[in-house]
């Protein structure tokens, strides 16, 4: 990791760095933060001569070498000081609530608009709206790009940042061009490395937050963090990890709740953790319990399916979306637990968590 002395390097300085690392069969990737840009070395960063030449440059502070498979996501990385913010909330410092429909219905847009206003009143900070939907059956509703117009209208009326899922490069480009503030990578694409890299490339300079869900099939912690590494190494450090339940499911629940991996993630990486209890348990009546458990485990936020009239929803909303009234109560209770989190967070051997 190359740490410059100043916030931004000019083109000539970047080219000089590129030429030096290229002599050692390495490349550099700029990681654009809120106030400064640092550079990740891709390849074997242990060449002593390469490090000496870089540190000899007048505009370079130092080179930090990280002997970890997660050079950028590791808790010892320079990015441990990186802060991610959205909706006026700083992840790790403030509780973040993402709420809204599983699926936007372009044929009935007013339902989404009504929900958008209701979740804002309940205290949510980001508006969730599924434009495109991955489905097990090809005969199920797959979403419609017309939904983008609906979520943009909701954003204009409420001022809430919007979150939507993408599954391929075309959808990604549409979402980026529309100005989506948070792009979601679902469980089915959690290991789609080509898509993860493209997300990093297309969103890195825009400040877009990426909500990366955990793979469905009991993905190990290292595999989960490595998936985030693809996005960050391609240029976007604004990655949030999202446990959402795994398979095989637990009897009575949609999936096997996995909010308990939050402390493990925080020991491995600096990335914030926002848990999705809706897909974890799959039934609206269980969601508040799972959500509060997630915050007790140390999560930095929640992504909750919410609908003003769940029975009129499409996709998963009729069975697992809570109402805005329930969301309001849940946010108040989660905020109380969140205030206690920092007391126990300090017990974890994680310098990133301890500094927040």
Nearest to 226 by CA among 238, 211, 241: 241
Please report where in the chains the tokens 């500094």 appear, as a residue: 355
Which domains occur in the chain, in start order? 2-65 (3.30.70), 85-354 (3.20.20.70)
Provide the total of helices (H) and of strands (E) in the chain, helices listed first: 13, 14
- Report, as ranges of residue numbers, the positions in the chain whose pLDDT lies below 70: 66-68, 139, 218, 342, 345-356
First-to-final CA distance of the chain? 22
User: For residue 287, what are the contacts with CB-CB under 8 A and spacing of at least 6?
Assistant: 277, 278, 281, 304, 305, 320, 322, 330
CA 254, CA 276: separation in Å to the nearest integer?
Answer: 12
């Amino acid at each position: 990791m190359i740490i410059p002395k100043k916030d931004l390097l000019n083109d000539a300085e970047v080219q000089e760095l590129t030429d030096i690392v290229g002599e050692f069969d390495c490349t550099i990737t700029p990681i654009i933060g809120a106030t400064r840009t640092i550079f990740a070395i891709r390849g074997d960063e242990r060449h002593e001569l390469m490090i000496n030449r870089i540190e000899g440059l007048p505009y370079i502070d130092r080179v930090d070498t990280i002997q970890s498979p997660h050079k950028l996501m590791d808790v010892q990385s320079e990015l441990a000081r990186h802060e991610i913010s959205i909706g006026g909330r700083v992840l790790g410092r403030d509780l973040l609530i993402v709420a809204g429909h599983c699926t936007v219905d372009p044929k009935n847009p007013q339902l989404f608009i009504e929900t958008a206003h209701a979740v804002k009143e309940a205290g949510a900070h980001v508006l969730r709206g599924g434009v495109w939907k991955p489905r097990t059956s090809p005969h199920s509703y797959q979403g419609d790009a017309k939904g983008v117009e609906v979520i943009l209208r909701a954003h204009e009326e409420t001022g809430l940042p919007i979150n939507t899922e993408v599954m391929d490069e075309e959808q990604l480009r549409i979402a980026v061009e529309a100005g989506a503030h948070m792009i979601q990578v679902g469980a089915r694409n959690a290991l789609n490395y080509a898509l993860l890299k493209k997300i990093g490339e297309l969103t890195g300079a825009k400040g877009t937050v990426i909500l990366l869900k955990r793979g469905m099939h009991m993905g190990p912690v290292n595999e989960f963090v490595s998936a985030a590494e693809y996005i960050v190494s391609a240029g976007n450090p604004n990655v949030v990890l999202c446990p959402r339940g795994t398979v095989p499911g637990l009897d009575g629940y949609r999936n096997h709740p996995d909010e308990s991996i939050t402390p493990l993630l925080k020991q491995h990486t600096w990335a914030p953790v926002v848990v999705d209890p809706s897909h974890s348990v799959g039934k609206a009546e269980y969601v508040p319990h799972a959500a509060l458990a997630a915050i007790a485990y140390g999560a930095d936020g929640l992504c909750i399916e919410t609908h003003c009239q769940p029975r009129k929803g499409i996709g998963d909303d009729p069975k697992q979306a809570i109402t805005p009234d329930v969301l309001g109560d849940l946010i108040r209770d989660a905020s109380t637990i969140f205030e206690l989190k920092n007391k126990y967070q300090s017990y974890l051997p994680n310098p990133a968590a301890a500094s927040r």
